[in-house]
Amino acid sequence: MTASLEQLRRCHFAVDLGAARTRVFLKGEGVVVDEPSAAAVNTRTGALIAVGTLAEQMTGRTPGYIRVVRPVSGGTVVDIDMAKRMLRHLLGDKVRRALRRKPRLRAAACTPYDADPLAQRATVETLVGVGARRVELVDTLIAAAVGCGLPVERPEASMILVCGAATTQIAVLSLGSIVTAERVPVGGNAIDHSVVSYLRHHHELMLPSQSVRPLHLALRGGDLATGGTGTTEIHGRDVATGLARSVEVDTAGLRGAIDIPLTGVLDGIGKVLRDCPPDLVADLAERGIMMVGGSALTPGLDQMIREATGVPVQVAERPDIASVTGLGAMLDGQVEPVVLDSLSVSA
């Protein structure tokens, strides 16, 4: 964490710019924005047509001169100007007026683990563009751990998986700091792509992009998560004819398709555990692994990790907003700082 708790208490709002969704926490109000990180632009005039949910619904349904863009990729701002415009509209007039009344407006933001200086600078410039005079950066892993209630300030191990749309971040925390961590370029988007590829190659069915996530959320808790051998009906478009068609798909095959990209996550967990001190690994055998992030709800993911590592795995109560909730707790002063002062010997 680059910002101290004292600095964070002076902040007025916090932002979690994710590849899938953007969330804003307003001090004293709670989470006031939770919208998709998407913007629809008229390429002829450069005008912004829509942001958030409406822009997400336009994906794949617009004429050629309207383009849906995502200014954030993997938790990193890749288009600063578009990110500023999107965030201004997501905040809305009411929130922006409330923020303008704050003297020397301060903001806090999450940054992915091991983010390079350019990525951090892009986040800072985006928030400065919406009026912030000073921006404090917090590691996403620390914020998410605080948000799901892990005792990160104690001298014992807490392991967390932040499962995002583009990346998965894995870390072991102790005494308020990251002991060892890894960022894996596998997330919900890779899982969606695997499902789409499986249906195309095995059933000659094209699935609309917006139907993938509801598909495996609908299967959560069913045969896909428990390793059963049932079937489910999926509606899509025939590859050859282009006509609407529905097929019965074996859920075991879907589970196999999802397992392929998740092997990268398991490799990352193994690397973190190998680099972790033995005493902390012993703590993890009892405390287990906490999963947060929107993709933590992927069916069968927690069971797969449990079987591969042999340690308990939990999914946070609200995994999707854990990071921004953790930032909010820091802004509200709900987190006590870890004091490690040197001991003095009296004469």
Q: What is the rounded CA–CA span in Å between residue 317 and residue 320? A: 9
Q: Is the dihedral of CA 89, 95, 100, 102 positive or negative?
A: negative
Nearest-CA neighbor of 110 among 136, 84, 79, 82? 136
Give the count of beta carbons closer than 10 Å to the beta carbon of residue 64: 7
Measured in whole angstroms, the distance separating CA 137 from the mean position of its chain's CA atoms is: 16
The amino acid at 212 = V
Phi (first) and psi of residue 84, to 5 degrees: -60, -50
165 is in an annotated binding site: yes
Identify the bridge partners of residue 160 per DSSP, sorted by sequence position. Answer: 171, 290
First-residue to last-residue Cα distance in the chain: 37
118 is in an annotated binding site: no
296 is in an annotated binding site: yes
20 is in an annotated binding site: no
177 is in an annotated binding site: no
Show the CA angle centred on residue 342, arms to residues 340 and 346, nearest 5°.
140
Q: How is residue 212 written in tokens?
A: 């993938």
Name the binding residues.
165-167, 294-297
Q: Which residues are annotated as a binding site for ATP?
A: 165-167, 294-297
